[in-house]
Amino acid sequence: MDVSVEHLVYVREDGHTVARMSAEGVPDFIASGRALTGIQPGEALRLAGSWGEHPRHGRHFAVDGCERVAPATVRAIRVYLGSGLIRGIGPRLAHAIVSHFGEATLEVIDAEPERLREVVNIGPARQAQIARAWEEQKEIAALMAVLQGFGVSPMLAAKIYQVYGADSGEVLASDPYRLIGQVRGIAFGTADRIALRSGVPEDSPERIGAAVLDTLETAGARDGHCYLPLNVLVGRAAELVDQDREPVRRAVDALRAERRVVVEASPDDPDQTVVYAKHVHGREMGLTAHLTRLCRAPSALPVRTWPEDPGLHEDQRAAVAMALTSTVSVLTGGPGCGKSHTVKAVAAAVRAAGGTVTLTAPTGRAAKRLSELTGLPAMTVHRMLARRPDPEPGTLFTETPSQADLVVVDEASMLDLHLATRLAAAVPSGSHLLIVGDGDQLPSIAPGNVLADLLRVEAVPRTRLTHVFRQAEESGIIQVAHRIRAGRVPDLPGRRGFWFEEVDDPGRVAERVVHLATVAIPRKQNVGPDQVQVLCPMRRGATGTAEIGRMIQERLNPAGEGKEEHWSGASVFRTGDRVMSVRNNYDKGVFNGTTGTVTGIVRQDRLLEVRTDEGESVQYGFGELDELTHAYAVSVHRSQGSEYPFVVAPIVAEAGGVMLRRRLLYTLVTRARSWVVLVGQREALETAVNRLGHRRNTGLARRLALSLRD
């Protein structure tokens, strides 16, 4: 049966798709199945399957097979061109083109694209754009067919084409392992499936080498490790490719000879051998070198004496003295201990002496919060490194902010190895670097554990603030945070800013979290739902960010007549959606953690328009939407550096594994300013308080200690 895709109703994570279809002589109907993975509105399909009745959708077609075909009727051609599948053609232009060429429209675009200039409003530039987009769409469609033959999701075709263009087919055929790390969404499993179905032998050295590199990358991305012990690496890689350990050892030796990995003695045990990916090892060595340079450099700070602030506690005064006399120092402490006020005092002393100060943080939200707490301008580390500070009259920003006499980086627990290396490299010798953070919070998402490592190096001056100020002491949130930090379960159900609501069933937990976030708390506190943030320990599952975020989206921003939307994988983006950037994009000036609102969907140009909370307008191509996620529910990791008036979070055993642990719960609770409400199982809460996370494999502390000793 030949059909046109009218509208996507729902797409699951596994690709199962529900869509409304139209066909000649048949009323519009619902079709569903995994065979529909990757379809888009406007496409013409040939379906195989069977009719049945669905309790929700009524007459329903269960799809067993799906083939993309050229639309055959004038109406189908008009829908296809007007859907935005071909960049440069919107609904109006599609109507004009089809009205002019009729059923011959697609033949004209394909074989005689210059004839498009016969249509009003199509000049040479627009005609060339349409021709390029048509060829690109043809090549992507061919790639989709190839991927389906390999048993791989066709949704990856556009991403592959974006990287390799016309060479995509050749890459798939000759070296599919190149896709790993170069194409977002393709890990070893996907590339390996393509390779094996292309005839690559299971014991191929290229296959085993790719498995070794992927095992290292996975250890960094999933667990934050910078290296793996050789025996652990060999075991995991051998299991991944179902091979003996000896071929894997040979693959490690080959990668070492090619200088793609570094093999050396363990930083903690000279008798143990460890393996780094080359780029990670280089960053660890680079950060060690730059921190050593900064520590050994004579101070160029103009401050010689500084006024005593009678409002400071004695450990805060010690921290000020440390920051002004040490070229590298660390300030740490829990919530309510006055870290921000101490930073303000340090900055005031430098300014009073005529020096310059740059305040930074890893994310935009963290920088904004630092600015609010200190009363001084702050920027993201990325902006500092890009040297694009957008100075305002009266601010302390210099044209090259890394040249400041004092550089402060807040929320340093979020610093990964890569960002910390770039930061240290940008600070000139003689300037002071003050690293501020809570060592009990979650470490960075990416590899490394920079703040914790620095706190392990005795030669690096540090001050831990322990005095909790009276105003903070009265906060139930801060009381609970300090109990969790000490390994004690909070008094339940709680009071004064903290509340635990016991619900055992994970499905009911999700429903209750959504109700609290969208109805109960806004109504009781007389605030908008945008003042309530849902934080989740994990992404998947009934209480993960994906499912709870989808439920909140349907409550706050459901599909509606005339409301634009676009499906990207299993996510639907609508105008009005709250979104968050999950990657740094220096070309757009957007960084990981930037939040905003979808303001428009331009199908003709295949673009999504976002207005960030900083007031900047940013455009994302449909092929770039994996750089965005919905912000209705976010992971605790992605919430770092942010603070919200009200926080609601599920706490259930299904989060299991490494997710339910003390640092995660501590970080979660400290994200709330007024109230935090936990919903879930008492046993899961107790598990989170009592379980310590794994230690990350890093060599920075040992390297820096040895370097500063020499």
The answer to whether 366 and 414 have CB atoms below 8 angstroms apart is yes
Task: Check the annotation: does 337 bind a ligand.
Answer: yes
pLDDT value, residue 437 = 95
Q: pLDDT-based confidence at 382, cuts 50/70/90?
A: confident
pLDDT value, residue 402 = 58
510 lies in some domain: yes
Task: Check the annotation: does 336 bind a ligand.
Answer: yes
Structure tokens at 574: 């609508």
Residue range 627-646: mean pLDDT, rounded: 92
Domain of residue 29, CATH code: 2.40.50
Structure tokens at 545: 């960010």
pLDDT value, residue 389 = 41
Q: Give CA–CA dist 216/223, Å, rounded.
A: 10
pLDDT value, residue 509 = 95
What's the pLDDT tens digit per position in 445-461? Answer: 889 999 999 999 999 99
pLDDT value, residue 269 = 84
Q: pLDDT-based confidence at 1, cuts 50/70/90?
A: confident
Q: Report whether pLDDT(472) > 70.
A: no
Same domain, 642 and 684: yes
More confident position, 81 or 237? 237
Spatial CB neighbours of 400, under 8 Å, sequence gap ≥ 6? 387
Structure tokens at 152: 């791989």
> Quick one: which H or E segment has residue 157?
helix 157-164
Same domain, 516 and 416: no
Domain that holds residue 48: 1-65
Q: Report whether pLDDT(398) > 50.
A: no
Same domain, 434 and 493: no
Same domain, 169 and 263: no
Spatial CB neighbours of 500, under 8 Å, sequence gap ≥ 6? 490, 492, 493, 494, 677, 678, 679, 682, 685
pLDDT value, residue 372 = 87
Among the candidates 471, 492, 515, a domain finishes at 471
Among the candidates 36, 65, 94, a domain finishes at 65
358 lies in some domain: yes
445 lies in some domain: yes
24 lies in some domain: yes
Treating both helix axes as pointing N-terminal to C-terminal, what angle do 74-82 and 91-101 enclose, rounded to 10 degrees? 150
Task: Check the annotation: does 159 bind a ligand.
Answer: no
More confident position, 54 or 356? 356
Same domain, 313 and 274: no
Q: Report whether pLDDT(304) > 90.
A: no
Q: Report whether pLDDT(339) > 60.
A: yes
pLDDT value, residue 563 = 87
Rounded CA Rg of the chain: 28
Q: Which candidate, 574, 578, 431, 433, places its Cα nearest to that of 517?
A: 578
Comparing 397-406, 586-595, 654-663, 698-707, the range with the smallest average pLDDT is: 397-406
Same domain, 341 and 375: yes
Task: Check the annotation: does 563 bind a ligand.
Answer: no
pLDDT value, residue 658 = 55
Q: Give CA–CA dist 329/352, Å, rounded.
A: 21
3-class secondary structure, 5 = strand
Angle at 449 between CA 444 and CA 455, to 5 degrees: 130
Same domain, 319 and 462: yes
Task: Check the annotation: does 311 bind a ligand.
Answer: no
132 lies in some domain: no
Burial degree of 324 (CB within 10 A; 0-12, 13-18, 19+): buried
Q: Report whether pLDDT(6) > 80.
A: yes
Cα–Cα distances (Å) from 625 to 102, 206, 222, 553, 583, in that order, read 34, 32, 22, 17, 11
Q: CB count, 10 Å around CB of 240? A: 20
Cα–Cα distances (Å) from 580 to 106, 121, 594, 691, in that order, read 38, 37, 6, 30
Q: What is the dihedral of CA 574, 578, 583, 588, to 10 degrees?
A: 80
Which range, 378-382, 399-403, 529-533, has the best average confidence (pLDDT)? 529-533
Task: Tokens 């490394």: give the residue.
Answer: 448
Q: Give CA–CA dist 615/624, Å, rounded.
A: 21
Same domain, 312 and 438: yes
Domain of residue 266, CATH code: 1.10.10.2220
Q: Give CA–CA dist 84/607, Å, rounded.
A: 10
Q: Which candidate, 575, 557, 549, places its Cα nearest to that of 638?
A: 549
SS (H, E, C) 567-617: EECCEEEECCCEEEECCCECCCCECCCCEEEEEEEEHHHCEEEEEECCCCE
pLDDT value, residue 655 = 52
The answer to whether 664 and 651 have CB atoms below 8 angstroms apart is no
Q: pLDDT-based confidence at 397, cuts 50/70/90?
A: very low
Treating both helix axes as pointing N-terminal to C-terminal, what angle do 230-241 and 205-223 enclose, rounded to 10 degrees? 120
Torsion over CA: 457, 458, 464, 466 (sign): positive
Q: Give CA–CA dist 44/71, Å, rounded.
A: 5
pLDDT value, residue 513 = 97
152 lies in some domain: yes
The answer to whether 397 and 351 have CB atoms below 8 angstroms apart is no
Domain of residue 482, CATH code: 3.40.50.300
Strand order in the sheet with 617-621: 617-621, 607-612, 595-602, 578-581, 628-630
Q: pLDDT-based confidence at 57, cuts 50/70/90?
A: confident
Same domain, 11 and 153: no
> Quick one: which H or E segment has residue 247?
helix 245-257
Residue range 370-384: mean pLDDT, rounded: 87
Same domain, 536 and 578: yes
Spatial CB neighbours of 107, under 8 Å, sequence gap ≥ 6? none
What's the pLDDT tens digit per position in 253-302? Answer: 999 999 999 999 998 888 899 999 999 999 999 999 999 999 999 999 88
80 lies in some domain: no
Same domain, 175 and 56: no
Among the candidates 250, 284, 318, a domain finishes at 284
**pTM exceeding 0.85:** yes
Q: pLDDT-based confidence at 399, cuts 50/70/90?
A: very low
The answer to whether 385 and 423 have CB atoms below 8 angstroms apart is yes
The answer to whether 60 and 31 have CB atoms below 8 angstroms apart is yes
70 lies in some domain: no
Query: What's the total number of domains in the chain?
Result: 5
Q: pLDDT-based confidence at 393, cuts 50/70/90?
A: very low
User: What is the Cα 480 distance to its own chain's centre?
Assistant: 28
| Residues paired with 329 in a beta bridge | 434
Same domain, 609 and 487: yes
